[in-house]
Structure 1
Amino acid sequence: MPATITLKPGKDQSLRRRHPWVFSGAIGRMQGEVVEGEVVTVQAANGEVLGVGHYAPGSIAVRMLDFGPDAQLPDATFWENRLRNAYQLRQGLGLTGTGSTDVYRLTHAEGDGLPGLIIDVYGDTAVVQAHSAGMYKARPLIAEALQAVIPNLRAIYDKSAETVPAKAAPGAQNGYLFGEGSGQEHVVHENGHPFAVDWETGQKTGFFIDQRDNRSLLARYAPGRRVLNTFCYTGGFSSYALQAGAELVHSVDSSKKAIELTERNAALTGLESKHAAYAEDVFSFMKNSQEQYDLIVLDPPAFAKHLSARHNALMGYKRLNAAGIRQIAPGGLLFTFSCSQVVSAELFEGAVLAAAIEAGRPARILHRLTQPADHPVSLFHPEGEYLKGLVLAVE
């Protein structure tokens, strides 16, 4: 039987609203051996069972897996049911079994009722990232369920070494849970666009799937324009712009590895003659560049991962967007993003407003952007909506 965590009186309301986090300050007492990564039963002060979840020491003490007195323990059936539900949602979105797209997110943590678990699918390979000790310990069951749910799955790669809490899994190493690497370049397709993906050594799981819809939007505006893609990583926006008919595309990232992948992806379009890539600091590049662009993409990594860093992050967004607005030609478009979960859409928009004022350029909002449907947000966990973006027309 799982250990039991009893909440303090009055601290059960968030769970009754199905919010998936139990904070340490809400815990009244613990019964049984409570071990990091193990399943615990959570009950109200009056003894009513509220659900089950994974325990971890720290601010978020329990990440809930199921709710109510009949909550299901995470056995093999649980995992297969949850992953099948997630897969069927992606089927309904038209992301599985299509000729034009074979890369998508299968599970988006709390958005799919699986806090701490990210699974991205690249063709016939699933890449798993555990962000909690509980999900890390569950990898064998998760791998078995994936094989039962996804047709023709060739391999499952575990890339949790960088994401699982270090104390929970000392010495964790990435590697294949099922199958093995093909030894060949991995090329996947998104809306018909080819991309070389390196899930073994690349950032995150290998590709920023969350910008798929926003890349498609950019393609509508790219024809005939001079495009600058900053923090380009593997050049997703760059490839879309090239294939949409951009006059030229410049890609900038401080990582030489990212620039190599960007250049490879530009080559896959067959339009690399219109592309140039620069392994430079973005701020330095924009400061020193004499080029004015008709369309600029600002898609930096998260400037803040904790509330304590939010103020500095907002100052960073203001500085970056002011530089971008100054660099853009009159009548140009700015695609600007924040993936910092602790920075709300309202705060981000305020930082961009301050940047436009500082740059002295009038601008209008054409689009407000967010993450795609395979990165769903639970109605009970609004914190899951992390990506926000704006498209500005700059005068």
Structure 2
Amino acid sequence: MKQERPYPKVTISPKAEASVRHGHPWIYGEEILQIEGEPQNGGLVDVVAGKTFLGTGFYNSISKIAVRLISRNANDVFDHRFWRRRVEYALRYRKTVMPGADFTCCRLVHGEADQMPGLTVDRFGSILSVQNTCLGMEQIKDTLYHALWDALTEMGETVIGIYERNDIGLRTREGLAEYKGWYRSDTIPAPASTVTEIQENGVRYLVDVEKGQKTGFFLDQKYNRAAVARLARGKRVLDCFTYSGSFGLNAALGGAAHVTCVDISQAAIDLAKANAALNGLDGKMDFLCADVFDLLTELAEGKCRDYDFIILDPPAFTKSRKTVQAAARGYKEINLKAMKLLPRGGYLATCSCSHFITDDLFRKILAKAARNSAKSLRQIEARQQAPDHPILWNVPETDYLKFYIFQVV
């Protein structure tokens, strides 16, 4: 570095240097060899290897991830203009990949994939729902929120409020408090209700940004749900782990003969019922509060042949490498039972949303389930998350959703 830098400096290990040079933005605490100056948690530090500048990032000694890089350019100045440019870049990308009405209901910021570490911003019509797990980003949230508000307004988009869904345990590992509620400022108001209505693929949903899962609604399966709808005409559909009923609703609107939605949560079943009524689909759908594992076992043992299209959209069975094998057994069990239930010529849509279940492992799980069920799988589509949840090839953690549609033959 030729000029004097205003930030403390951390020197990292050769292993970390290789990772950073390959484009990964995280540096773990054990990879820091030396610290010059007095970095503040949530403040900026320069990252170096020897005398070579590698980037600037947010520092946090409390976190396992000690530095999250935000820039690799020594000329960047991290003021409001810097963050406004970054926000605008993210919004322009969504305008391109989520055109038309899709832009009104999509993920606007996807953390590291948008070089805004730990930050998630989902748009549900006129409400933004925000979740953050990075201390440095928390400390500049006023700048970020006003940049989002102003940029969207200048694009002609209507936004009436920003709701913070920071009620997740992961924040405590970063030294952040858990909370949720409307963000308030002199120029950003707080709406009266946390419930809003959205439309996705022609399906209407009620979304509660205060009580819904994650930020209120799962947006990453948008186009996968549309793919299911295209195959659903005339089918008898079993939608497992339905939550808000989204896959089942898409199948019903796609012309399914009948749809049964199953979830272990009565609150989820009530939400799915309300969404069915909102779309005038009460007569084409029924709802069952049950454990999917138990239900599939019961149906398989009873040699049930009521369904010719089964959808499996389970929650992540693992969130760490330590439990991958147990999760793999769970994925195999539900897919094996679904394949046994389906007649030859039936259809299966199945997915995993865990980053730790790699695509290669998931394919092996499905192949083993098919062998054990004495069925073959004819692949129709292999899909991932929608493009508003972008995947950076140099950041494997951004690649998490595997989605397959098969005909069982």
Match of 1:303 among 317, 341, 360: 317
Provide Cα deviations, 1:274-329, integer angstroms capped at 9, x if missing partner.
11111211111222233531111111111111111111111111111111111222
> Which secondary structure does the structure 2 equivalent of 1:136 belong to?
helix
What corresponds to 1:263 in structure 2?
A: 273
Amino acid at match of 1:159: R
Cα distance in 1 for residues equivalent to 2:122 and 2:15: 38
Once residues 118 and 169 of structure 2 are traced to their aligned partners in structure 1, the CA distance between those partners, rounded to angstroms, is 9
Change (3 A) 1:371 1:154: same
Letter of the aligned partner of 2:181 in structure 1?
G
1:91 aligns with 2:101: no
Q: CA-to-partner distance for each residue in 1:192-239, whole Å, 9 max, x for gaps?
A: 221111111110111110001101100110010001111111111111
1:235 aligns to 2:245 (yes or no): yes
Q: Is the 8 A contact 1:198 1:206 kept in 2?
A: yes
Change (3 A) 1:376 1:72: farther
Question: Who is 2:49 aligned against?
Answer: 44
Report the 3-state secondary structure (helix = DSSP H, G, I; strand = E; otherwise coil) of the residue aligned with 1:159: strand
What does residue 399 of structure 2 align with?
385
Which residue, out of 146, 149, 156, partners 1:147? 149
**1:64 aligns to what SS in structure 2?**
strand
Is residue 349–residue 404 contact of structure 2 (8 Å, CA) maintained in 1? yes
Match of 1:120 in 2: 122
Partner of 1:315: 329
Larger displacement relative to structure 2 (142-151 or 8-17): 8-17
Change (3 A) 1:137 1:283: same
2:197 alignment partner in structure 1: 187
* RMSD (Å), alpha carbons: 1.8
Structure 1 residue 263 displacement after superposition: 0.7
Contact persistence 1:302–1:339 (CA under 8 A):
yes
Contact kept in structure 2, 1:80 and 1:148, CA below 8 Å: no
The 3 A distance-change label for structure 1 pair 258 and 51 is same
- Report the AA paired with residue 256 of structure 1: Q
The corresponding residue for 2:12 is 7
**SS of the residue 2:405 aligns to:** strand
CA distance in 1, matches of 2:377, 2:193: 48
Q: Would you say 1:346 and 2:360 are equivalent positions?
A: yes
Determine if the alignment matches structure 1 residue 278 to structure 2 residue 288: yes
Say yes or no: does 1:248 pair with 2:262: no
- Is 1:172 aligned with 2:178? yes
Query: 1:102: how far off?
Result: 2.2
User: Residue in 1 aligned with 2:3?
Assistant: none
1:65 aligns to what SS in structure 2? strand
Cα drift, residue 384 of structure 1:
1.0
Determine whether 1:358 maps to 2:360.
no
Alignment partner, residue 70 of structure 1 = 75
Relative to structure 1, the CA distance from residue 361 to residue 175 in structure 2 (aligned partners, 3 Å threshold; closer, same or farther) is: same
Aligned partners of 2:194 and 2:305: how far apart in 1?
Answer: 38
- Letter matched to residue 216 of structure 2: G
The residue aligned with 2:347 is 333
Q: Which runs of 5+ in 2 are unaligned?
A: 1-5
Cα distance between partner residues in 2 of 1:192 and 1:72: 43
Asked if structure 1 preserves the Cα contact closer than 8 Å seen for 2:98 and 2:388, the reply is no
- Residues 102 and 190 in structure 1, CA contact (< 8 A), matched pair in contact too: no
Which 10-residue stretch deviates more, 52-61 or 365-374?
Answer: 52-61
- How many percent of aligned residue pairs carry the same amino acid? 34
Per the TM alignment, residue 171 of structure 1 is displaced from its structure 2 partner at its CA by 4.3
What is the SS of the residue equivalent to 1:54?
Answer: strand
Q: Distance in 2 between matches of 1:270 and 1:351?
A: 38
Counterpart residue number, 1:211: 221
Residue 163 of structure 2: aligned partner: 157
For the residue of structure 1 that corresponds to 2:138, the secondary structure is: helix
SS at match of 1:379: coil
Q: What is the CA distance between 1:71 and its match in structure 2?
A: 3.8
**More displaced 10-residue stretch of structure 1: 27-36 or 383-392:** 27-36
Structure 1 length-normalised TM: 0.94
Instruction: Give, as a single letter, the amino acid of the residue that structure 2 aligns with 1:321.
Output: N
Equivalent residue in structure 2 for 1:134, among 124, 128, 136: 136
**CA distance in 1 between partners of 2:26 and 2:177 (Å):** 27
Pairing partner for 1:373 from 359, 366, 387: 387
Cα contact 1:8–1:45 (8 A) shared by 2: no
The TM-score with structure 2 as length reference comes to 0.91
Match of 2:369, as an amino acid? A
